[in-house]
């Protein structure tokens, strides 16, 4: 049997999701760009609004006194306005393609709502409200965003995240959140709805990528003010040229003056500014990150300090019980039995792993704890367990258990230090009857640093970003993991208050801080941080507190978010530099040609030896329009970002885009002039 390989042509949606740029997008977006010629749309961009008015005025003037030169200027001025709208139209078109693919996820599903009396009532997904409980079984689509409150299941989230591998969603753990539109592949879960119809993450992503919720950022507004001021300055300068020409005995030509104004004002960055911002948000969406505002994306580019949780971020996070270390005089079976009893009500993955280890390795079975009082884990006590029959059973951090029972024996303390030194997590098990406490031993939990983390932190260090690992582990464990991962600093035994205090301390020194989190106890710090990346599988409190949500729930993605933010700022700065440098070159192209007949001395500045005043002006206007469309791919893809210091990046961009912005117009205008001079009326 032979196989025939058929070349695959990517669809528009595939191109969008891959981040690629294709020339077909320009052609497909042309009708939308033409539709932006309405005065209301043009008035939103002061720079291009001046070009728009200039095109209208030139059209009227050309109609009054027709000439080849005037109509060429008119044609290319309108092309300039359309090309400026084309940049934004392409960016918006990519968003609409993403929105179309996301809308396929939204289905009018029927949910099976669990009532208070245990009955199941079928209800349209559009009628679900916060707090309702729905039952979802294998093969069914989850009708709305929510948290799993009962059961465990594998879920296909490929429609949302693009990842084909199914994920596990379970009650009680860190992976309890589910997104509407995803499909349950196995088992049965009960989901509590956490979002009203129209306010789900898919709805918010659709609004984001279509630009409906995008507002201009402070940096964008500031740059718009600068560009407007430059436009006003050049407008006044060009208005003054007419009387100067009249004083010199040369009749001013309004069409030439309009062309001069269009070439001198910063039309390149004015045309591309909006598309740069839209594309930056677009790159985040491609990585399944939902940004609540463009301000957060820009802040990510200026981050100075990065706070990251150890578990699930720097390490894999699936810490499991790997061994029981009994104290002197205690059998391993006795330790396993008490550890098992302390963990029966512990729904965390660590707690379940302790139950599994005790059952599988030591044949510990579940006793009758119906009358026991469960003591849940809290960030303040850092212990959990049960109280039954006048006895208290606890497992938790060594220092917390020591405070609870009074002391730790030397052998137990030695075991704790040994486990911590090799990067494991020790949990001490103890019992108390009345005032008499007895330490039984230590449970060893093991975790592994994710591969490549040291290299990624080295890249952040090269960017000038300080990395801090935050963990609830003891100092010895934290130190071992921090050394292995290569972070700059760490905070051990951190409480929610410690995280908040650290962020405030950093910000008081004028530094911007980013952090990740997924729990309710992370919400205050996420709200305080300049960039708070909440996990989609985390609690609603965390997602509401952060200004970004990662639908993949990958805490290490914060590193990519920082790179995207820096790329957006660099792209905007690079194209602004290029645009202003362009204006300088076009100044030398037009002004000598415009005044050479009146002031022959200015002919020395005509270093390109352009054919005539008419051909020079037409060539500059044509170049001005073409350079916009040539830079659309760069504005959408972004300038390539490399991990380097701010000084190195500034030096590189000044050389590349500053010098390039000066040289390119000289070459481009000269080449266009070679063609334009062949047209009639260019003598």
Residue 20: predicted pLDDT: 43
Choice among 309, 447, 552, 583 that is catalytic: 309
Closest CA to 173 of 553, 556, 557, 558: 553
Most confident of 110-114, 318-322, 643-647: 110-114
Q: Residues 588-606: what's their mean pLDDT? A: 72
Which two structure tokens, joined as six digits, stand for 599? 């002031």
Q: How far is CA 36 from CA 83, 231, 403, in A?
A: 10, 21, 69
| Structure-token pair, residue 633 | 């791919």
So what's the pLDDT on residue 7? Answer: 31
Q: Which burial class, exposed, middle or buried, applies to 437 when counting CB atoms under 10 A from its CB (0-12, 13-18, 19+)? A: middle
Give the separation between CA 23 and CA 344, rounded to whole angstroms. 60
Asked whether the predicted pLDDT for residue 91 surpasses 70, the reply is: no
**Helix 267-286 vs helix 294-301: crossing angle, to nearest 10:** 90
Mean pLDDT of the 645-671 span: 83
Is 657 one of the annotated binding-site residues? no
HEC assignment per residue over 219-283: HHHHHHHHHHHHHHHHHHHHHHHHHHHHHCCCCCCHHHHHHHHHHHCCHHHHHHHHHHHHHHHHH
- Helix (H/G/I), strand (E/B), else coil: 181: coil
Question: 181-191: b or e for each residue (b if 16 or more CB lie within 10 Å)?
Answer: bbbbeebebbb
Distance CA 683, CA 681 (A): 6
How far apart (Å, rounded) are the C-alpha atoms in residues 243 and 226?
27
Per-residue DSSP letter, 67: -
Is residue 501 flagged as an active site residue?
no
Residue ranges of the chain that CATH labels 3.40.50.1000: 288-314+450-562
Pick from 68-72, 92-96, 607-611, 658-662: least confident: 92-96
Is 380 among the annotated ligand-binding positions?
A: yes
How do residues 213-233 score in pLDDT, each as one tens digit?
455 667 778 888 888 898 898
Tokens of 519: 């729990």
The pLDDT tens digits for 548-572 are: 888 777 777 878 888 888 888 888 8
pLDDT band, very low/low/confident/very high, at 248 (cuts 50, 70, 90): low
Mean pLDDT, rounded, for 131-158 = 87
For residue 504, give Cα distances in angstroms to 510, 529, 530. 10, 8, 10
| DSSP 8-state code for residue 657 | I
CATH 3.40.50.2300 fits 288-314+450-562, yes or no: no
101: which 2 tokens?
A: 């693919």
> Among candidates 64, 62, 81, 84, which has minimal Cα distance to 72?
62
Is the pTM higher than 0.85? The answer reads no
Please tell me the predicted confidence (pLDDT) of residue 2: 33
Q: Any binding-site annotation on 581? A: no
**pLDDT score at 495:** 80
The Cα 151–Cα 138 span in angstroms is: 12
pLDDT at 100: 65
pLDDT at 516: 83
For residue 363, pLDDT beyond 50: yes
Tens of pLDDT along 382-436?
888 999 888 899 999 999 999 898 888 889 999 998 888 877 889 999 999 888 8
Contact between 290 and 549 under an 8 Å Cβ cutoff? The reply is yes
Residue 509: is its pLDDT beyond 80?
Answer: yes
CATH 3.40.1110.10 residue window(s) in the chain: 318-448
463 is known to lie in a ligand binding site: no
Total Cβ atoms within 10 A of residue 248: 12
Q: Label residue 18 by pLDDT band (50, 70, 90).
A: very low
Q: Is 350 annotated as a binding residue?
A: yes
Q: Which pLDDT does position 474 carry in this prediction? A: 75
Is a pLDDT exceeding 80 seen at residue 292? no
384 annotated binding-site participant = yes
- pLDDT tens-digit readout, 482-495: 888 889 999 888 88
- 92 versus 71: which is more confidently predicted? 71
Residue 143, marked binder: no
DSSP-derived secondary structure letter, 287 = T
346 appears as a binding residue in the annotation: yes
pLDDT score recorded for residue 38: 86
What is the 8-class DSSP label of residue 315? B
Query: How far is residue 502 from each of residues 8, 13, 467, 468, 630, measured CA to CA in Å?
Result: 51, 43, 13, 10, 46
Quick one: pLDDT band at residue 99, thresholds 50, 70, 90?
Answer: low
Most confident of 216-220, 344-348, 442-446: 442-446
Report the residue count for the chain. Answer: 683
Residue 83 is labelled as binding a ligand: no
Over residues 575-586, the mean pLDDT reads 85
Query: How high is the pLDDT of residue 102?
Result: 62
d(CA 140, CA 444): 39
CATH superfamily of 318-448: Calcium-transporting ATPase, cytoplasmic domain N (3.40.1110.10)
| Residue percentage of the chain with pLDDT more than 90 | 11
Which of these, 429, 431, 449, 454, lies nearest to 441 by C-alpha position?
429
pLDDT at 531 over 70: yes
pLDDT score of 431:
93
46 closest CA partner among 267, 305, 243: 267
Q: Give, to the nearest 10 degrees, the angle between helix 349-362 and helix 332-343.
A: 140
Phi, psi of 681 (to 5 degrees): 80, 10
Q: In the 8-state DSSP scheme, what is residue 395?
A: E
Distance, CA of 551 to CA of 158 (rounded, Å): 11
Residue 446 CB neighbours (<10 A): 17
378 is in an annotated binding site: yes
Is 395 annotated as belonging to a binding site? yes
| Average pLDDT for the chain | 80
Mean pLDDT of 435-452: 85
What does the pLDDT read at residue 11?
38
- Its sign, for the CA torsion 544, 549, 553, 556, is negative
> Which 8-state DSSP code applies to residue 173?
S
């Amino acid at each position: 049997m032979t196989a025939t390989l058929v070349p695959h042509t990517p669809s528009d949606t595939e191109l969008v999701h891959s981040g690629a740029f294709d020339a077909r997008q320009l052609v497909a977006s042309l009708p939308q760009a033409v539709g932006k010629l309405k005065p209301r749309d043009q008035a939103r961009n002061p720079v291009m609004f001046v070009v728009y008015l200039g095109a209208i005025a030139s059209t009227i003037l050309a109609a009054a006194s027709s000439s080849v030169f005037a109509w060429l200027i008119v044609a290319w001025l309108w092309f300039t306005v359309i090309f400026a709208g084309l940049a934004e139209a392409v960016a918006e078109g990519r968003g609409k393609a993403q929105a179309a693919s996301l809308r396929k996820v939204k289905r009018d599903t029927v949910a099976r709502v669990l009532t208070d009396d245990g009955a199941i009532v079928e209800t349209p997904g559009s009628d679900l409200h916060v707090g309702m409980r729905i039952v979802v079984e294998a093969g069914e689509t989850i009708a709305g965003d929510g948290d799993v409150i009962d059961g465990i299941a594998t879920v296909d989230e490929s429609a949302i995240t693009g990842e084909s591998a199914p994920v596990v969603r379970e009650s009680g753990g860190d992976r309890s959140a589910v997104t509407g539109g995803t499909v349950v592949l196995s088992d049965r879960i009960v989901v509590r709805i956490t979002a009203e119809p129209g306010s789900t993450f898919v709805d918010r992503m659709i609004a984001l990528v279509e630009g409906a919720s995008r507002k201009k950022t402070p940096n964008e507004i500031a740059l718009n003010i600068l560009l407007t001021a430059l436009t006003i300055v050049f407008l006044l300068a060009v208005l003054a040229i007419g009387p100067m020409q009249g004083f010199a005995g040369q009749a001013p030509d309004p069409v030439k003056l309009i062309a001069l104004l269009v070439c001198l004002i910063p039309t390149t960055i004015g045309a591309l500014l909006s598309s740069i911002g839209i594309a930056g948000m677009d790159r985040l969406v491609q990585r399944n990150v939902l940004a609540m505002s463009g301000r957060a994306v820009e802040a990510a580019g200026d981050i100075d300090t990065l706070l990251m949780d150890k578990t699930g971020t720097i390490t894999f996070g699936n810490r499991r019980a790997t061994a029981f270390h009994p104290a002197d005089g205690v059998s391993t079976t006795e330790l396993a039995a008490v550890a098992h009893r302390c963990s029966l009500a512990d729904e965390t993955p660590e707690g379940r792993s302790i139950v599994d280890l005790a059952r599988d390795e030591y044949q510990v079975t579940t006793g009758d704890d119906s009358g026991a009082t469960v003591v849940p884990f809290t960030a303040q006590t850092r212990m959990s367990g049960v109280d039954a029959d006048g006895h208290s059973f606890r497992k938790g951090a060594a220092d917390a258990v020591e405070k609870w029972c009074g002391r730790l024996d030397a052998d137990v303390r030695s075991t704790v230090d040994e486990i911590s030194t090799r990067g494991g997590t020790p949990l001490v098990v103890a019992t108390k009857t009345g005032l008499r406490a007895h330490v039984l031993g230590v449970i060893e939990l093991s975790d592994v640093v994710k591969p490549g983390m040291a290299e990624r932190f080295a890249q952040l260090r090269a960017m000038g970003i300080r990395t801090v690992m935050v963990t609830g582990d003891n100092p010895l464990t934290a130190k071992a993991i921090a050394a292995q991962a290569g972070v700059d600093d760490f905070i051990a035994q951190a409480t929610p208050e410690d995280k908040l205090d650290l962020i405030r301390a950093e910000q008081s020194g004028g530094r911007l801080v980013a952090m990740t989190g997924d729990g309710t106890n992370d919400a205050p710090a996420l709200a305080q941080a300049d960039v708070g990346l909440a996990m989609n599988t985390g609690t609603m409190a965390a997602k509401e507190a952060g200004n970004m949500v990662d639908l993949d729930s990958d805490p290490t993605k914060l590193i990519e978010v920082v790179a995207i933010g820096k790329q957006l700022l660099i792209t905007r700065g690079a194209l602004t530099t290029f645009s202003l440098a362009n204006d300088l070159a076009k100044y030398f192209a037009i002004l000598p040609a415009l005044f050479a007949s009146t002031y022959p001395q200015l002919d020395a500045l005509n270093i390109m030896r352009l054919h005539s005043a008419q051909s020079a002006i037409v060539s500059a206007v044509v170049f001005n329009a073409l350079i916009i469309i040539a830079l659309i791919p760069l504005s959408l893809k972004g300038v390539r970002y490399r991990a380097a210091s701010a000084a190195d990046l500034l030096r590189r961009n000044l050389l590349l885009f500053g010098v390039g912005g000066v040289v390119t117009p000289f070459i481009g205008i000269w080449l266009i002039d070679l063609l334009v001079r062949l047209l009639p009326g260019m003598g």
